[in-house]
Amino acid sequence: MTKRIAVLTSGGDAPGMNSAIRAITLSALRSGFQCFGFFHGYNGLINQEYTELSAVSVTDITQLGGTILKSARCPAMLEPAGVLQAANALRKLHIDVLIVIGGDGSFRGMQALAAHWQGQLIGIPGTIDNDLSGCDNTIGFSTAINTATSAIDKIRDTANAFERVFITEVMGRHNGHIAYHVGIATGAEAIISFENCTAENTSQVLAHLKNAIEQQHQHGSFLIILAENLWPGGAQALKTELNSNADINCALCVLGHIQRGGAPSVEDRMLATELGIAAVEVVNGSIKANTEVATPVMVGKIHGAIVITEVEKVLNMDKPVSQEWVQRYQHYLAEQ
């Protein structure tokens, strides 16, 4: 039986979302399904702003950053009325399956919808922050860390020329996946992230940083990678405190939204393509979860295999940064 599959991208956009849209569309068409795209995340669902997706509409999008379906936050989905409107729209348009590409907020939207709509709900993890369990990597993470690393390689050039201390703030919302990957990849001299720095130990971190800089700085530059949303008062405050407490003069760079854009890396294009195909295979039954799972589900990739996880579980589990890396840099900050 032919089915009507709809897809939307929601929350912070992430490079690779277009590859997922393309894979869903092509796989759906090959399975004999119809495929639709809602614009602007859940807003387009509520407003019935959508388009039918064909092979032509997804030609030459896999290499593009952003999302052809646009994305948005949707406060209406936090209200019962909005959720009902969304459910009604799905019924009215005879949608059988809704695939949502996004992060935890977008997945909560799926949970809300599940109470009012009987169709199939499938999530695909798409966020540069990599802060979702049920998968090794989220779509967009690889591109974000490569973009940040290229930017910091440039900062290293000028830091070396001046033998200077630099604080570079990277994204990651409330975890250190980006900070640790970027820190290791750039050979940063220090990483300050949620995993090794809390509100309680900032003065200790400052003291260790001072020691590290004094000992290592003689032979060149010193790069500090700082996770966003962490330091009290922000990156600028850390710079000021290093200056006033330790007489260390830093330059500051907040990488910001450049980490969200750009052509996706091969890793993100592949992951998005595989997860898009997997989502359609869940629909046509060619792949199944190992155990019984309750809708909505998320498809992810863990250790090379496609894994289907209840969204409930995804939202309740943490995916911490490798303790080994944390220990290594903790040690570093603490003693060297």
DSSP summary character for residue 201: G
CA angle (138 as vertex; 101, 196 as ends), nearest 5: 135
Of 41, 38, 22, give the one whose Cα is nearest residue 106. 41
Query: Nearer Cβ to a copy of itself, position 119 or 276?
Result: 276
Q: To the nearest whole angstrom, how small is the minimum distance from the Cβ of residue 168 to a copy of itself?
A: 9
Q: To the nearest whole angstrom, how small is the minimum distance from the Cβ of residue 62 to a copy of itself?
A: 4
Binding site for a copy of itself (CB under 8 A): 9, 12-13, 15, 22, 40, 56, 59-60, 62-67, 70-72, 136, 142, 145-147, 149-151, 153-163, 166, 181-182, 184-187, 219-220, 251-258, 260-263, 265-267, 269-270, 273, 303-304
Q: To the nearest whole angstrom, how small is the minimum distance from the Cβ of residue 93 to a copy of itself?
A: 23
Report, in this order, helix, strand and coil percent for the chain, each rounded to 5.
45, 20, 35
Among the listed residues 13, 104, 129, 131, the single catalytic one is: 129
Are 21 and 266 in contact by the 8 Å Cβ rule? The answer is no
3-state secondary structure of 96: coil
How many angstroms separate the Cα of 64 from the Cα of each of 16, 106, 125, 140? 8, 22, 18, 12
Omega of the bond leading into 80 within 30 degrees of 0 (cis): no
Cα(218)–Cα(225) distance, integer angstroms: 19
For residue 325, what are its two tokens? 């890396």
Are 93 and 48 in contact by the 8 Å Cβ rule? The answer is yes
Q: Nearest 5°: phi and psi at 234?
A: 90, 180
CA 228 to chain centre: 14
Q: To the nearest whole angstrom, how small is the minimum distance from the Cβ of residue 189 to a copy of itself?
A: 10
Q: To the nearest whole angstrom, how small is the minimum distance from the Cβ of residue 76 to a copy of itself?
A: 16
Query: Nearer Cβ to a copy of itself, position 62 or 85?
Result: 62
Query: Nearer Cβ to a copy of itself, position 185 or 293?
Result: 185
Query: Nearer Cβ to a copy of itself, position 10 or 196?
Result: 10
3-state secondary structure of 72: coil
Query: Nearer Cβ to a copy of itself, position 119 or 140?
Result: 140
Q: Could you confirm whether 129 is annotated as catalytic? A: yes
> Annotated active-site positions, please?
129
